[in-house]
Amino acid sequence: MEDLDTCFLVEAGAGSGKTHSLVSRMVSLIASGRAQTEGLAAITFTRKAAAELRERFQIRLEQAASSEPDPGRRARLQAGVATLDRAFLGTIHAFCARLLRERPVEAGLDPAFQEIDEEEDGRWARAAWEAYLERVRRDAPERLEALRDLGVEPRELFGLFLTLHGYPDVEPVVADAPRPDVGLVRQELLAYVSRARARLPRSEPAKGWDALQKRIRRISQEAGHLPPGDDVALIRLLETFDVHPRPTLNRWADPDTAREALAAFESFRDGTALPTLRAWRGHVHGPAVAFVRPAVELAARMREQAGVANFQDLLLRAARLLRDDADVRRSLAGRYTHVLVDEFQDTDPIQAEVLFLLTGEPLHETDWHHLTPRPGSLFVVGDPKQSIYRFRRADIEVYHQVKQRLLRGGGEVLHLTANFRSVEPLIAWVNRVFAGPFPDQADRYQAAYVPLTPVRAASPGTPALAAVPVPPVPHHTRADVAREDAARVASWIAWACGGGLELERSPEERARGVDGRARPGDFLVLHRDRAYLLAYAEALEARGIPAEVTGAKGYAGAWEVAAFLDLLGLLADPSDPVKLLAVLRGPLFGLNDGALYRLGRALDQGWTRWLEAQVDGLPDPGKTALGTLRAWHAWTESLPTQAALEQILDATGLLPWTAVAPAGAARAGNLVKLAEVARAVGSGLSFPGMVEALRHVVETQELEAGSLFPGRPQAVRVMNLHRAKGLEAPVVVLAHPVGATEHEPSFHIRREWGGARGRFVVRAPSPGSGNGWGTPRVLAIPPRWDEAAAEEARYQQAEETRLLYVAATRARQLLVVSRYLGKPELSPWHPLEEGGALDGVPELQVPEGAAPAGAAPSPEQVEVAPEIVEAALRRTEEALAWARRPSSLHVAAGELAALAAGSPPDGTGIREVEAEAAAAAEVEAGPMDTEGAGPEPRGLAWGEAAHRLLELVVVAACRRVRGGGGGRGSGREAAPLEPMEPGELRGLARHTAREAGLEPQEGVEPEELLARWMEAFLRSSLWCRLLAADQVEVEVPLALALTAGELARLEPQAGLRVTEGIGEATPVVVQGQADLLFREDEAWVLVDYKTDRAPRAGEEGLAALAARYGPQVRAYAEAWRRATGQPVRERWLYLVRYGRAVAVP
């Protein structure tokens, strides 16, 4: 670590202290004076890893500063501690965002751009796809017809769109393949069907048709209805041959006939059907890619116009900025003198390019493959044996390329092999198992194996390896095997946590008072994939062991989400009788068939008119259920969309109900996350529109399941293997011993010096899968796909070996492997058993007297008196009523007025002494014409456009100030703003109008009307004061935390009612975004923009607007005062339509 003039690639094996080496290098750079903290950039794989790195760096700096004897080095270390926050420690995406924010103009970005995460990017992508399809339907419907002529529906290309959207740097390989002539194939098919049908038994066999017979019968039926000349129908029929059915010999006339039928099927499949399908799919590929590519370009334009950037935007724009602008590159390279990278094996090619462009020489070279990092400028740590994110653009070939560039440039490769994590017997087993699958020398597919050297000794008599035997289940179904394994694993963990297992503790743990008894937090349960994670959490919690699920596959199996979505669907469309019956019969109300029958008779089968029916005469429990549904439906019409959804969720009691059920943290977390998704997708939509958007997201995107308590320490962690990267635990269980499948490659990317080219298969969700999780159907294949697929399969197989290595190296003391005895080859962990690697390891059995392995403990059957049951039900109802009470309220500042419901307690309002002079509704001097406010633009888009243009006008004025930033919350201070030029204003108005997609209003162009509004703003006294302000802040996010009682007293106008549901002490968080704050004479002025029309003419109408929005503006002012300690002297509404400012008392 002391050779600071050399670039290093540290290949650190599992548990060998990668982060320790990184921190040691950083401390040495500071102590030696080779680097200042502001010149350090430490890149990590996750935000969590960045936080841990920052903590460890600070501790090591402080320790080094206190123990350093040399005065000069000690002074530099002390300075490093004082300026620690100037160093960059974060993800590569955050680092690229920082580079772009430092040079937004050169990067061609809005200075106020915002990064979006993967989920939000998915919503942007969906919006772009829908917008693109709408444009095609409107402007070029012939393109849709051309697709359908090929048997492709536009919706089936969404998967291809997402793939190309995720690889914007890759050029798809296409070819102009001719349309195959399928006339002769049709004749051959009909001839085959005639012969195959003759071999079938005349009647159904006693045990039913076998798989081959079913397939032949289906093909025969569809061939009989094949439209003449319909190539698409023929291709669909040929697709049914792409299977491998096996005959049951005793269900045929004789075994020879069965064998002949199979041979004929395979001959037609391999000689005619599959070659024809391959030719057809090759023909479809080019048009499919050509149709999708404009949608990818539209998505990029939409993000750029909206001022948002996804992860790929950040990487590509940062690389382009460094590659194309030598001055910027020189400046940033001088700013960040030393770059250190953790988990480098998971880097993607663009990340590597950014790092080499920043640290490499010569500066005039733009191809990163030809750059050599400056001596000592680059320090990367990684383990190629743990490169497991190829599906997320990680490329082990890039790792090898970087390694060779470093070596050729005078850098060195260090190997860290000492394993400080796992005990010696476990390391010996890992070395023995993986010495074969990994090669001795690295190649383009795989890393070389470097044996680990154990440091920790095992406790005498304590096994380091164990197995959980899972007996065979009928038909070897995944769900049944998962249930059986989950029960056994959960029972053993419950026994272990009950005192059955003693663990070795570190001296630090002993010092904290942690004894050797096993705790839930000591266990990590890993799955190869994301299926059935909840089954293990439920089994654990049924035995009293808390479990935390991470990485579950969306909402698969989440009945609570399905029930809530059914309810929302009914409230959005109350005339749908199927939805009504589903909700009444479902878990929310649970009406049985008899209750539904009586309710139907009372409604006279008027299920579609239940909202208008007289409730009083209806029988219970249907009467109560419909009354409840009516109340919830009323909320959808009287409350803002998001407020209605959250209030309905609270009223259902689903959150407390699911929270106390097995896997309750995950299930209740699903509902919380569903509300968050609704908040993101439902902005500006009606309640039915929000419900439709929410259901669409749930059905089409693989959302990760949520959790009420993410990261709680004393819970068994249950997760898929990819989420376990960088984690460890005393005990690791490799669970769910089924589901080992080879996934056919979907694409292959080849990166050459001139760029990246990719071959992408086009697949559509299986028919009827709904959520897209069924077996996909191949629509099109790229040219020379067979060779590309074989090459990609080699990369995938190599990564499977690395995944097993990661799984085997997570445990500190005990690694437990579930083994399915029915068909061991079905297990993803089966390669760990090969060669007898698990022979002789102890099998974990739950001792006698513990909970049985096959099921969760069940209570004894006892007689209970009816009055005891009634009392228990009353207590349950009281507990549920208490649980439904909101623990806190989150209110948008603009919705304060929507809380009206009765007379609030008396209060004095939010006041500041400095605001007394502005307490009256004083209106700026000047002509007033509320009658003639011009054209009547309506809709959310106009309001957003006006806000956006006002922000741009202020930001542009700030940007011209020397040294000013001008972005959101940029803190531009101590320099006067400059006036706005008319030409610049018109340009900004034109940009904003186009960005918002505004239409002309009463013959007036949108940019003209927006410019008119802005010209009035530039003539206002507010603008004159703004030009001379000391400091300017725009679009400032604010939050005001207080209790419901405090809010009622502070803002009686808001009408917040302290009721049974909202207590005096209920925490309330009021959130919003202040449009403009500026400081003059050491006091702040707050301005909020509104585009509303006044309800009445004259000053009385403007005063009404000030009264309406007063609670919102006063909440902003109070939040600013609490956050900064500086009061707001004046509060103003700027009414955009009228060019007027009204003081808010």
Q: What is the pLDDT of residues 501-535, one digit of tens each?
A: 999 988 888 888 888 899 999 999 999 988 888 88
**Cα–Cα dist 518/495, whole Å:** 10
Average pLDDT over residues 406-414: 91
Asked whether the beta carbons of 602 and 609 are under 8 A apart, the reply is no
Which of 353, 301, 306, 299 shows the shortest CA–CA distance to 99? 353
Asked whether the beta carbons of 1016 and 868 are under 8 A apart, the reply is no
Let me know how long the chain is.
1145
Strand (E) positions, 735-774?
747-752, 755-760, 762-764
Which of 548, 560, 466, 491 shows the shortest CA–CA distance to 723? 548
Burial per residue of 483-492, b for 16 or more beta-carbon CB atoms within 10 angstroms, e otherwise? bbbbbbbbbb
- Of the chain, the percentage scoring pLDDT greater than 90 comes to 47
CA dihedral 867, 872, 878, 884 (to 10 degrees): -140
* CA angle, 833 then 836 then 842, to 5°: 80
Question: Above 50 in pLDDT, residue 910?
Answer: no
Which of 1115, 1116, 1105 shows the shortest CA–CA distance to 1143? 1105
User: Would you state the pLDDT for residue 929?
Assistant: 42
- Interhelix angle 559-572/664-681, rounded to 10 degrees, is 40
Domain ends where: 253, 283, 305?
Answer: 305
Please name the residue ranges forming H helices in 586-640. 593-602, 622-638
User: Would you state the pLDDT for residue 863?
Assistant: 61
**Cα–Cα dist 577/596, whole Å:** 12
Q: How many CB atoms lie within 10 A of CB 612?
A: 9
**Cα–Cα dist 972/959, whole Å:** 9
**Cα–Cα dist 64/937, whole Å:** 65
Question: Above 80 in pLDDT, residue 555?
Answer: no
Please name the residue ranges forming H helices in 838-913. 866-884
Let me know whether 295 and 328 are in one domain: no
**Cα–Cα dist 818/800, whole Å:** 18
Domain ends where: 305, 326, 351?
Answer: 305
**Cα–Cα dist 506/813, whole Å:** 12
> Is 1121 part of a structural domain of the chain?
yes
User: Would you state the pLDDT for residue 923?
Assistant: 32
**Cα–Cα dist 1055/1049, whole Å:** 10
Q: What is the pLDDT of residues 530-544, one digit of tens each?
A: 888 888 988 998 888
Three-class SS of residue 151? coil
Which of 396, 397, 377, 378 shows the shortest CA–CA distance to 387? 396
Let me know whether 169 and 220 are in one domain: yes
Let me know whether 978 and 1062 are in one domain: yes
**Cα–Cα dist 654/668, whole Å:** 8
Asked whether the beta carbons of 296 and 168 are under 8 A apart, the reply is yes
User: Would you state the pLDDT for residue 175?
Assistant: 93
Which of 979, 981, 944, 992 shows the shortest CA–CA distance to 1136? 944
Supply 101's token pair. Answer: 């924010």
Please state, in angstroms and as integers, the Cα–Cα distance from residue 411 to each residue in 10, 42, 121, 373, 478, following that order: 11, 19, 38, 9, 50
Up-side HSE of residue 65: CA atoms within 13 Å toward CB? 16
User: Would you state the pLDDT for residue 952?
Assistant: 86
Average pLDDT over residues 54-60: 91
Q: How confident is the model at residue 768 (pLDDT cuts 50, 70, 90)?
A: very low
User: Would you state the pLDDT for residue 751?
Assistant: 85
Determine how β-strand 360-361 pairs with β-strand 372-373: antiparallel
Which tops the pLDDT comparison, 1114 or 867?
A: 1114
Supply 365's token pair. Answer: 């070279």
Residue with tokens 């990278």: 341
> Is 763 part of a structural domain of the chain?
yes
* CA angle, 186 then 187 then 189, to 5°: 65
Please state, in angstroms and as integers, the Cα–Cα distance from residue 260 to each residue in 220, 241, 255, 1084, following that order: 17, 16, 9, 90
**Cα–Cα dist 452/417, whole Å:** 5
Work out the burial of residue 498: count CB atoms within 10 Å of its CB; fewer than 13 is exposed, 13-18 middle, 19 or more buried: middle
User: Would you state the pLDDT for residue 128?
Assistant: 94
Supply 678's token pair. Answer: 């609704």
Let me know whether 1105 and 1021 are in one domain: yes
Which tops the pLDDT comparison, 753 or 812?
A: 812
Task: Give the single-character DSSP code of 1093.
Answer: P
Which tops the pLDDT comparison, 695 or 166?
A: 166
Task: Give the single-character DSSP code of 453.
Answer: E
Question: Above 70 in pLDDT, residue 881?
Answer: no
> Is 173 part of a structural domain of the chain?
yes
- Interhelix angle 533-542/664-681, rounded to 10 degrees, is 130
Q: How confident is the model at residue 1043 (pLDDT cuts 50, 70, 90)?
A: confident
- Of the chain, the percentage scoring pLDDT greater than 70 comes to 86
> Is 125 part of a structural domain of the chain?
yes
Let me know whether 157 and 187 are in one domain: yes
Three-class SS of residue 1100? helix
Asked whether the beta carbons of 1145 and 929 are under 8 A apart, the reply is no
> Is 288 part of a structural domain of the chain?
yes
User: Would you state the pLDDT for residue 917?
Assistant: 28
Question: Above 60 in pLDDT, residue 566?
Answer: yes
Question: Above 60 in pLDDT, residue 904?
Answer: no
- The total number of structural domains that make up the chain: 5
Which of 718, 709, 707, 622 shows the shortest CA–CA distance to 673? 707
**Cα–Cα dist 724/735, whole Å:** 13
Let me know whether 90 and 151 are in one domain: no
Structural domain boundaries enclosing 135:
118-305
Three-class SS of residue 96? helix
**Cα–Cα dist 1000/901, whole Å:** 40
**Cα–Cα dist 1021/1023, whole Å:** 5
User: Would you state the pLDDT for residue 575?
Assistant: 85
Average pLDDT over residues 670-677: 81
Asked whether the beta carbons of 144 and 137 are under 8 A apart, the reply is yes
Let me know whether 1052 and 1123 are in one domain: yes
**Cα–Cα dist 203/252, whole Å:** 10
Q: What is the pLDDT of residues 932-986, one digit of tens each?
A: 445 556 566 788 888 888 988 888 777 554 333 333 344 444 344 455 666 778 8
Supply 923's token pair. Answer: 């209106």
> Is 705 part of a structural domain of the chain?
no
Residue with tokens 């497991």: 388
Q: Which residues are annotated as a binding site for ATP?
A: 12-19
> Is 147 part of a structural domain of the chain?
yes
Average pLDDT over residues 236-240: 94
Q: How confident is the model at residue 263 (pLDDT cuts 50, 70, 90)?
A: very high
**Cα–Cα dist 299/1122, whole Å:** 40
Question: Above 70 in pLDDT, residue 649?
Answer: yes
Q: What is the mean pLDDT of the chain?
A: 84
Question: At 1059, which CATH number?
Answer: 3.90.320.10
Question: Above 90 in pLDDT, residue 601?
Answer: no
**Cα–Cα dist 945/491, whole Å:** 59
Asked whether the beta carbons of 722 and 553 are under 8 A apart, the reply is no
Residues facing 115 on adjacent strands: 309
Q: How confident is the model at residue 1102 (pLDDT cuts 50, 70, 90)?
A: confident
Average pLDDT over residues 994-1021: 82
Domain ends where: 288, 305, 322?
Answer: 305
* CA angle, 838 then 839 then 844, to 5°: 70
User: Would you state the pLDDT for residue 1002?
Assistant: 64
Average pLDDT over residues 809-831: 94
Task: Kindly report the backbone phi and psi dihedral angles of residue 598, in degrees, each rounded to the nearest multiple of 5, phi listed first.
Answer: -65, -40
User: Would you state the pLDDT for residue 598?
Assistant: 87
Sign of the dihedral through C-alpha 915, 921, 922, 928: positive
Let me know whether 760 and 690 are in one domain: no
Q: How many CB atoms lie within 10 A of CB 563?
A: 20
Let me know whether 102 and 129 are in one domain: no
Question: Above 70 in pLDDT, residue 876?
Answer: no
Which of 450, 448, 457 shows the shortest CA–CA distance to 423? 457
The alpha carbon of residue 230 and the mean position of all alpha carbons in its chain are separated, in whole angstroms, by 42
Let me know whether 293 and 315 are in one domain: no
Which tops the pLDDT comparison, 906 or 72?
A: 72
Question: At 580, which CATH number?
Answer: 1.10.486.10
> Is 672 part of a structural domain of the chain?
yes
**Cα–Cα dist 1050/1048, whole Å:** 6
Which of 136, 175, 177 shows the shortest CA–CA distance to 157? 136
Asked whether the beta carbons of 15 and 422 are under 8 A apart, the reply is yes
Let me know whether 504 and 604 are in one domain: no
993-1000 contacts at long range (C-beta below 8 A, 24 or more positions apart): 993/945, 994/305, 995/305, 995/306, 995/945, 995/948, 996/941, 996/942, 996/944, 996/945, 996/948, 997/941, 998/937, 998/941, 998/942, 998/945
Question: Above 90 in pLDDT, residue 495?
Answer: yes
Q: Which residues are annotated as a binding site?
A: 12-19
Question: At 349, which CATH number?
Answer: 3.40.50.300
Let me know whether 917 and 961 are in one domain: yes
Q: How many CB atoms lie within 10 A of CB 725?
A: 17
Task: Give the single-character DSSP code of 435.
Answer: T
**Cα–Cα dist 541/548, whole Å:** 10
Question: Above 50 in pLDDT, residue 1033?
Answer: yes
